[in-house]
Structure 1
Amino acid sequence: MTELTQSFSDHEKVPLREYAERAYLDYSMYVVLDRALPNIGDGLKPVQRRIVYAMSELGLSAASKHKKSARTVGDVLGKFHPHGDSACYEAMVLMAQPFSYRYPLIDGQGNFGSPDDPKSFAAMRYTESRLAPYAKALLSELGMGTVDFQPNFDGTLKEPVILPARLPNVLLNGGTGIAVGMATDIPPHNLNEVVTACIRLLDEPKATVEQLCEHVQGPDFPTDAEIITPRDDLLKIYETGHGSVKARAVYTREDIDIIITALPHQVSPAKVLEQIAQQMRDKKLPMVEDLRDESDHENPTRLVITPRSNRVDIEQLMNHLFATTDLERNYRVNLNIIGINGKPQVLDLRTLLKEWLQFRTQTVTRRLEFRLDQVVDRLHILEGLLVAYLNIDEVIHIIRTEDEPKPALMAAFGLTATQAEAILELKLRNLAKLEEMKIRGEQEALEEERQSLELTLGSKARMKTLIKNELTEDAEKYGDERRSPIVERESAQALREEDLMSSEPVTVVLSKAGWVRAAKGHDIDAEALSYKAGDEYLDDARGRSNQQAVFLDSTGRAYALAAHTLPSARGLGEPLTSRFNLADGARFTHALAGDAEQKIVLASTFGYGFVTAMENLHSRMKAGKAMLTVRDGAEPVRPAIITPGADTIVCATSDGYLLAFPLADLPELAKGKGNKMIGVPPKRLKAGEEHMVGMVVLGEGQEILVWAGKQYLRMAAKDLEHYRGDRAKRGRKLPKGYQRVTMLEVTGDG
């Protein structure tokens, strides 16, 4: 035990909490800096940078022949990136897919995936690849002292810390990544637009984001789908560095067919077809007859939707599909980048371009200084060579006779060690070519270049001009037209379920026990249907299959169901309590159906009511929706439908009092108790001796039937003059024999 204790005595003791915290922080910083986030300089993550660099080292330029992708992946893993081969190859494939990268860095040969399934690429042993021409913008200045090199993972080789990008690739190709506690989502942009914004910022260092957005219109995805985000929202994204962009598919018409010609970025045509087909299977797209994919080499995206007839509202249909499928897609924007200071940060457009231009200025400065050193060194050597040419015989004599010719040459002609070494390294055959005119010509050219380099390095204006000229040159070489047009469109709205269903007449039948069913057609004798033993007819409502069926209970709550979901009237139906949670002691009293905009009158047996729209009764809650406030002892009376042109409401009490008053006197409410409609003495109400038994709304040309048991009294509009009065009045007594009123009914066309 003592030996064991001593063996651990030399080790550092760290609390577990401190060790775990430090280890996790180290891991998170590795993920942030060395895996997930791109660098502002070249816009690449380490694995991408290593792939591009390894390919350049293999000589796989755009002018070379393709080589097996496995060769490249092997070099990347063996020399620079000791990770999984599948992840490395997938990163390589992504940079070769023209539908994934706006400006691909790799030119692939073979199966590199398709828009349908970007990950359907062939194995790396089957595909071949080389660098794309655009990659030259990242690599052309690599050997010019522009960037620092660092040891690779095993210290045997060197790799660049960053690539000397001549263009702001971080914006051009964008990128996504999830780190620890942060993420990045940078959309691709158009090269010409970004370059003109850079030039504007060089000319006007105080240019605002709004001014730069005169050039950078918005993201430019590799597809021709429209960007429909409003300009103001795009400006906010570039001002804050985060937001979202919405892209929408493009379609045209060919006769009756709808042809989708472009899909949003990273949207699979197969998935879109499946989404639409699923809606068709669920009978949620009755207006679509056929769906097919006619894409080929000439038309990479051609999805055909055939409506049922030319009466289908195409714009409405497409708006529904935009809202319910990937034909319209949101893209998160989060310009989180490893800045020039090596720290991750979310940048606005101006800061991002400014930092990249700072990086570019440093790169160009290092390139010019590196070249200046080369020129000065060469001029120094040329001076020594000129001396050797002018004294060629003596130089040869010294070399032939001296044991150590180098110090002898230095002493004889006042040469430096470098100059003497250059003379000694001359091949014998070159002596004949060592002509004074050639040396002096090269001297003059290099001297002119040296002066130009020194002037540029010493002048900020010249440096800016050089950077602008190089940006313009690269824009002419690699730039192209914008692919994603920016078009302002209205937001897409999905069609309501009732709008999507076929519209057929149905009669909703409610029994006293609360069982419900729906019969096709409006010519149904609901009372003649068969009912369960002990049950009987209570109420029915005529509507359409694409409407909501509404049910009122004795407490004034409203419940709604889609009419097409009700069981067929061929059976006994099903209890509404299986669909809804009814309060204790409550029972269903009435059924309603109609358009959401249909106006109705709701009232209680205590004589209070109001006008409301049918949509106010619609509820998705199983417990229903409190609609009509009823006092203890009261319950709803049968709601009255308001037909077009109706202007008079007629109420009747159980003691035979009838009152007609203008419909306009009744308020329109979303819910509540309402106003008093007919005056019943409070004592008689409380004692339950008298109550309002019914109401109807009368229009021009209509009549009412006042039912008293099995007999009724027919009354036209002129007959009601005797019963007209102000709202809340008592009304007048009906003739003898009709004073025990049981129901009011409207007849006539109205």
Structure 2
Amino acid sequence: MTETVSNGEANWERQALKDFTEKAYLDYSMYVVLDRALPHIGDGLKPVQRRIIYAMSELGLSAAAKPKKSARTIGDVLGKYHPHGDSACYEAMVIMAQPFGYRYPLVDGQGNWGSPDDPKSFAAMRYTEARLAPYAGVLLSELGQGTVDWGPNFDGTMSEPEVLPARLPNVLLNGTTGIAVGMATDIPPHNLREVATACVRLLENSRTSLEELCEYVQGPDYPTEAEIITSREDIRKVYETGNGSIRMRAAWKKEEGEIVITGLPHHTSGSKVLEQIAEQMRQKKLPLVADLRDESDHENPVRLVVVPRSNRVEAEKLMNHLFATTDLERNYRVNLNVIGLDGRPRVRNLKEMLSEWLQFRMDTVTRRLQFRLDKVTSRLHVLEGLLIAYLNIDEVIQIIREEDKPKPVLMKRFGLSDEQAEAILELKLRHLARLEEMKIRGEQDELEAERKQLEKTLGSRQRLKTLIKKEILADAERFGDERRSPIVSRGAAKPLDETELVPSEPVTVVLSQRGLARAAKGHEVDPEGLNYKSGDGYQASAQGRSNQLAVFMDSTGRTYTVPAHTLPSARGQGEPLSARVNPPDGATFAGVMIGNEDDRWLLCTDQGHGFVCRLGEMYSRNRKGKAVLTVPKGARVLPPTPVVDPAHDWIAVAGSEGHFLTFPLEELPELTRGKGNKLMGIPPKKLKTGEERVVAATAFDEADTLVLFSGQRYKRLTPSELDEYVGERGRRGYKLPQGWRKVDALVPQARLPAK
């Protein structure tokens, strides 16, 4: 609500702060959207770009003119049309001049205008010179022919075009990016010939489907030889919705055993790519590469050489790894958001973009033809008056000599209009020759023929379309070129697993009671006989390969992943896992697992619950680990044990009171996380007080012998002896023989080291 307050001679408005700020924000938002960030569908330019192009044309900087200092252009732009920062304005001019950034540059620059490695390394505007590129004529050639509306500049002292009369859909050809308030635009560049063909097709048949248009416009065409690897179907979806993404991948080839990169994705720096590869080499994450070279020059703007370590390195695998881990493969957002003919921004699909631009072009050509028709008609009218004057030249001269105001007399005597009489009075004496009458009649014949042709074209929509079609094809023939970015459908690249970069050797991962880990070479290792620090001792071990991931489980049921080849040698006493991962405060490590992703492991707590889990489900890239096993309050995690054959393995469980139970593994579920199911039934009262617990649990093959350890003694239970303890999962189990009821561990015979 607004109210006016008067106080003597002073008047002011009182307005709610909420209303004022809301209006101010919306006004600013509309300004940013319409006058700064988004392009117009007609010429595909933002206001600053349009003003730069127009100012250069006003300075006479055509493609055939001598270039002038860029500071001269920027000064005119800022002083006459665009009162903003000079550095931002100059950068907008630079972008339009960079052939590696603009598909069809609008500015022809001389001097240092940046490089693909560093587009912003251009020289200051006082050093560089510029003129318009030949392609800029597509936007400017019809400007003075009544084709567009004009508006006042920022101070109202001059006029500037509100849009340029583009003869081609520059909005798609060069594309643009911009961030407004609440919206953005990302329009990729396209090939001129493809877009022109699609426009002609749409002119011939307005019912042409988007699928048919996509046969002509195959996809974006960036100013680089890198491949577009997005599938045709995904590209069609982008054009159908106006939103999506395009993925580009560097072009490469093999030369004498070396990998040569010849084309980089749009706006990708070759030096940065080499830095990314070199960083991987420094961190010893890329042992497949021996050397890098940058051999780029004027003849080969992009030539990066990657030297593999040996001929055995597969180039395809290596490049896939580099595509996934460096800027050799990049994703580009597409958002076809432009300001339409109605002055409103909206996301359009490909057909809507082309259709609306063609409507703009038809309106422009109509205005151009009408402007010319008006000129021709006016000239014919003047010639008609001049012819009357020549036929009555003596009388006309007498009136001019004798009358003080000859104009009205001439108009009345010969029935002339004001315009005709003025033209007669402006005649020079040299034009009174007999030959001039013949010139007038010849000019009349030419203009009359032109007028009839113009009226025919303006009176027939089909003739108008044919004219536009011919002009589009002529411009396409002059400025068009072959596609630069080939479209090749490929799957997304995946990096090489770190384990693929190291040799596969047998190792035994050993975990100590204090959480120190190490890896001993080979499987014939006695982990309990290794050297441990004072007060420390053996906790758990697992056998695997050096190129596999070791998974450690802590007392809270969280798992942590460490590459086995990065663990220290068993010749030392190990390295604290706390230096690699961040377990919760007070947590200790309970066990270690290693193997293939599809290997199964038995996870359980001493309260008698557990489940089978696939090793790959326990992998975690997070230093804080992954919550897998739910550990009830007061419970302890038992060491995980491997499952050899889920279809034939059995589970053996021993309790602290001498109870023993075996049951088929298939009775236990396979989960990705959780508490699991009950393995052995322990009375809740004893479980709550801690009087009875599960002390050991393992998976074993039905034909294997199980070794039961009790202190320094051990007892072998053969398959036939184990049959006596078979029961349903979750039962109490059966008592072990007297003297063997204090079980320390259960180990299948097949897993014991050979004596």
Q: Which TM-score applies when normalising by structure 2?
A: 0.86
Partner of 2:493: 492
Q: Which residue of 2 aligns with 1:329?
A: 330
Tell me whether 144-153 or 387-396 shows the greater mean CA deviation: 387-396
- Structure 2: segments with no counterpart, 5+ residues: none
Work out the CA distance in 2 between the residues paired with 1:29 and 1:564: 59
Structure 1 stretch displaced more, 554-563 or 480-489: 554-563
Residue 262 of structure 1 pairs with residue 287 of structure 2: no
Q: CA deviation at 1:739?
A: 11
The alpha-carbon distance between structure 1 residues 374 and 547, as it changes in their structure 2 partners (threshold 3 A), is same
RMSD: 3.9
State the alpha-carbon separation in 2 of the partners of residues 389 and 161 from structure 1: 44
**Displacement of 1:282:** 2.2
Question: Deviation per CA, 1:295-326, whole angstroms, max 9, x where unpaired?
Answer: 11111111222222233343333233222222
User: 2: distance between equivalents of 1:125 and 1:168?
Assistant: 33
Structure 2 counterparts to residues 561-580 of structure 1, below 5 A? 561-567=562-568, 569=570, 571-576=572-577, 579-580=581-582
Counterpart of 2:330, as a letter, is R
Post-superposition Cα deviations, 1:366-390, rounded to whole Å, max 9, x if no partner, equal 1111111111111122222223333
Q: How far apart are residue 510 of structure 1 and its match?
A: 2.0
Query: Deviations for 1:654-681, whole angstroms, at most 9, x for unmatched residues?
Result: 9999999987787655456778999999
Q: In structure 1, what residue type is equivalent to 2:624?
A: K
Deviation at 1:123, TM superposition (A): 1.2
Q: Give, in whole Å, the separation in 2 of the partners of 1:660 and 1:190.
A: 72
CA distance 1:607–1:337, shift in 2 (3 Å)? closer
Any idea what the Cα deviations from partners look like across 1:168-190, whole Å, max 9, x if unmatched? 11111111112222221111112
Partner-residue secondary structure (3-state), 2:216:
coil
What are the superposed Cα offsets for residues 503-552 of structure 1, whole Å, 9 maximum, x if unpaired? 55543222234333344555655434432333222333333444322334
Distance 1:335 1:732, change over 3 A: same
Partner of 1:133: 134
CA distance in 1, matches of 2:416, 2:623: 99
Q: What is the match of residue 50 of structure 1?
A: 51
| 1:445 to 1:605, Cα distance in 2 relative to 1, 3 A | same
1:295 counterpart residue number: 296
Q: Which of 323-332 and 536-545 deviates more?
A: 536-545
The 3 A distance-change label for structure 1 pair 79 and 674 is: closer
Instruction: Deviation per CA, 1:221-263: give whole Å up to 9, x if none.
Output: 1112222222333223222222222222222222332222111
- Give the C-alpha shift of residue 559 in structure 1: 4.2
| Secondary structure in 2 matching 1:321 | helix
Asked if 2 retains the 8 angstrom alpha-carbon contact of 1:626 and 1:671, the reply is yes
* Counterparts in 2 of 1:461 and 1:525: CA distance versus 1, 3 Å: same
Partner secondary structure for residue 177 of structure 1: strand
Contact 2:167 2:472 in 1 (8 A): yes
Q: Is 2:280 the counterpart of 1:273?
A: no
- Secondary structure at the counterpart of residue 181 of structure 2: coil
Match of 1:73 in 2: 74
Structure 2 partner of 1:225: 226
Distance change >3 Å, CA 695–CA 389, structure 1 → 2? closer
CA distance in 2, matches of 1:687, 1:300: 78
- Counterpart contact for 1:168–1:356, Cα < 8 Å: yes
Tell me, in whole angstroms, the C-alpha distance in 2 between the residues paired with 1:461 and 1:304: 56
**Per-residue deviation at 1:423?**
2.6
- Identity rate, percent: 60
Counterpart for residue 461 of structure 2: 460
Tell me the residue number matched to 1:472. 473
Q: Does 1:107 find its partner at 2:129?
A: no
Aligned partner letter, 1:303? L
1:694, 1:714 → 2: CA distance? 15
Distance, in Å, in 2 between the alignment partners of 1:571 and 1:447 is 103
Determine the C-alpha separation between the residues in 2 that align with 1:117 and 1:251.
22
Determine the structure 2 residue equivalent to 1:384. Answer: 385
1:443 counterpart residue number: 444
Equivalent runs, 1:370-381 vs 2, <5 Å:
370-381=371-382
Gap change, CA 1:726 and 1:192, over 3 Å in 2: farther
Alignment check: 8 A CA contact 1:279 1:285 kept:
yes
Distance across 2 between alignment mates of 1:315 and 1:16: 63
Closer/same/farther in 2, CA of residues 531 and 394 from structure 1, 3 Å limit: same
- Displacement, 1:563? 3.0
After the TM superposition, which of the residue ranges 619-628 and 461-470 deviates more from structure 2?
A: 619-628
Distance 2:517 2:618 in 1: 18
Cα distance 1:7–1:245, how it changes in 2: closer, same or farther (>3 A)? farther
TM-score (structure 1 length as normaliser): 0.87
1:201–1:309 Cα change, 3 Å: same
Please say if residues 148 and 164 of structure 2, whose CA atoms lie closer than 8 Å, have aligned partners that are also in contact.
yes
- Which letter does structure 1 place at the counterpart of 2:208? A
What is the 5 A alignment of 1:576-615? 576=577, 579-581=581-583, 588-601=589-602, 612-615=613-616
- Secondary structure in 2 matching 1:143: coil
Residues 334-389 of structure 1, C-alpha deviations (whole Å, 9 max, x = no match): 22211111122222222222222222111111111111111111112222222333
Partner of 2:483: 482
Structure 2 distance, partners of 1:682, 1:22, is 68
SS in 2 for 1:260: strand
User: What is the SS of the residue equivalent to 2:593?
Assistant: strand
**In structure 2, what is the Cα distance between the partners aligned to 1:320 and 1:709?**
52
Partner of 2:193: 192
Structure 1 match to 2:418: 417
CA drift at 1:502: 5.6
- The answer to whether the 8 Å contact 1:556/1:636 transfers is no
Structure 1 residue aligned with 2:624: 622
Q: Give the partner amino acid of 2:151.
A: Q
1:90-146 Cα deviation digits (max 9, x unpaired): 111111111111111111111111111111111112111111111111111111111
Tell me if the contact between 1:549 and 1:562 (Cα under 8 Å) persists in the aligned partners: yes
